[in-house]
Structure 1
Amino acid sequence: MTDDLITRLSSDLAPVSPRAMERHIALALAIGALITLPYAWLVLDLWIGRPFVPLWGDGMFAMKFGYTLAFALFGFAAVPALSRPDGRIRWPLVAAGLVVLLALGLGTMNWMGGDWAMPMLMGQTAMVCPWLITLTGLPVLTVLLIAMRRLAPRSPSMAGLAAGLLAGGFGAWVYAFFCGENSMMFIAVWYSLGIALTALAGAALGRILLRW
């Protein structure tokens, strides 16, 4: 009786590609990224009246570029693993924490060399930077969570956290193209805070939306 039921339930199953989940998540990320580009320009333009001018030739722009992209890549590595019923992965989250500590260390040394000048910490946009990063990452986070509702994560909160880390890193990366700040301490504190807020938002939303 039981064998017959199992046979009937599995008779119409079609094979699934081993990388189907990764492609599903990559497609969601691509859609979110395409939405983010015009959205970010509109949000940042309305918020500050005009887009920031990126420091294209400045070495700190390359630092912002690499720093933010690293978090997006850590999130991208964690999302597929944590979206599975047996999903366990730690290294991307540990690596993200270590990168923050490294940035804070470098920023502190740079700040110390500048006689603890407050503009090196606060810049001109400290009070809006984290929130604008979170707003910029919102389309990617939304699309990812919608796509992940078809999956079965072992921990909805952790899966949402990974999605938020990916969205926050990508949002910060896009924001860096509009940002004129050039202090390592500013990036280590305020960029990291914006990415963390997005990750926490993903965890909170994931706990609700990704439950199965």
Structure 2
Amino acid sequence: MPLGRSGALKTDNLIELLAKDNAPQWSFRMLFSVALICSVAAAGVLFFAMIGVRHDFLIAAETMRFLMKFVVTLTLAAGALGLAQAMARPGAEFGAWPWLLAAAPALLIIAVAIELLVVPPEAWTARLVGQSASFCLKVIPFLSLVPLALLLLALRRGAPSNPGRAGTLAGLASGAIAAAFYAAHCPDDSPLFVAAWYGIAVTIMAGVGYLAGRRLLRW
């Protein structure tokens, strides 16, 4: 039986709706990548607007102790980001991401051990306390807030089987991104200082990420 005009219009409307539903959408990986880029940009803008790099940056960049701060923080950020992205896709392989995440504290432990071997014991306390501990504990969490929010928004588009763990990884990543920026300003290059104060600041953000993830990433 031939369709009337109204029937043809309804069929056309149905086809149009189906076409819209099947329109290409951003993949989770692309959304996560955009969130990461925006996170780095936001932390960078805040960093340069608030404090900027240390006055002897170029001189400090020639020393291994200064560069080690970036090796540790960027390794931690990469491992946490990669593992968070994998955890948000059911069935995805974790690959080498857990090993990369574990490499960051391992490198820092080695650096601390070397520091303790080459620095006299009477200088350990001064290296540990440093010049900017309280400032470090304020700046790193502050620079982490926008990156953490953006990463959590991206993870909401995925399907993390363990929301708390995914949130923890987002907190670690955001804290590590902020710590990498702060390292360019921080006058304290001792691994003892980095392990203590950077570690506390990043751990705080991991805890915030855990609590936020449990609440926001449930599905």
Shorter chain as denominator, the TM-score bin is 0.7 to 0.9
Partner of 1:84: 89
Highest Rg: 1 or 2? Answer: 2
Aligned counterparts, 1:146-161, within 5 A: 146-161=153-168
Q: Paired residue for 2:187, among 169, 175, 180?
A: 180
Amino acid at match of 1:181: D
197, 202, 208: which one pairs with 1:201? Answer: 208
Cα RMSD between the aligned structures? 2.7
> 2-side partners of 1:74 and 1:203: how far apart?
17
Take 1:83 and 1:181, find their aligned partners in 2: how far apart are those partners? 36
Cα shift at 1:44: 4.1
Find 1:73's aligned residue among 62, 78, 92: 78
The TM-score with structure 2 as length reference comes to: 0.76
Gaps of 5+ in 2: 1-17
* TM-score computed with the length of structure 1 as normaliser: 0.79
Give the superposition deviation at 1:84: 2.5
Q: Which amino acid aligns with 2:71?
A: G
Distance 1:178 1:91 in 2: 29
Q: 133-142 or 100-109: which moved more?
A: 100-109
* Partner of residue 56, structure 1: 58
Instruction: Using the TM superposition, give the Cα deviation of residue 56 of structure 1 relative to its aligned residue in structure 2, in angstroms.
Output: 2.9
- Give the Cα–Cα distance (whole angstroms) in 2 for the partners of residues 103 and 175 of structure 1: 19
**Alpha-carbon distance in 2 for matches of 1:160, 1:54:** 36
Q: Write the distance in 1 (CA, Å) between the matches of 2:168 and 2:188.
A: 27
Q: 1:87 to 1:196 in 2, by over 3 A?
A: farther
Aligned partner of 2:176 among 169, 181, 194:
169
3-state secondary structure, aligned to 1:41 = helix
Q: Which residue of structure 1 lines up, in the alignment, with residue 151 of structure 2? A: 144
Pairwise CA distance, 1:28: 0.4
Q: Does 1:130 align with 2:132?
A: no
Moved over 6 A (4+): none
Q: Size of the alignment, in residue pairs?
A: 195
Distance 1:193 1:177 in 2: 18
Asked if the contact 1:84–1:151 (Cα under 8 Å) also holds between the matched residues in 2, the reply is: yes
Conserved 8 A contact 2:76-2:101: no
CA distance in 1, matches of 2:111, 2:201: 14
In the alignment, is residue 34 of structure 1 matched against residue 36 of structure 2? no
What is the CA distance between 1:32 and its match in structure 2?
Answer: 1.4
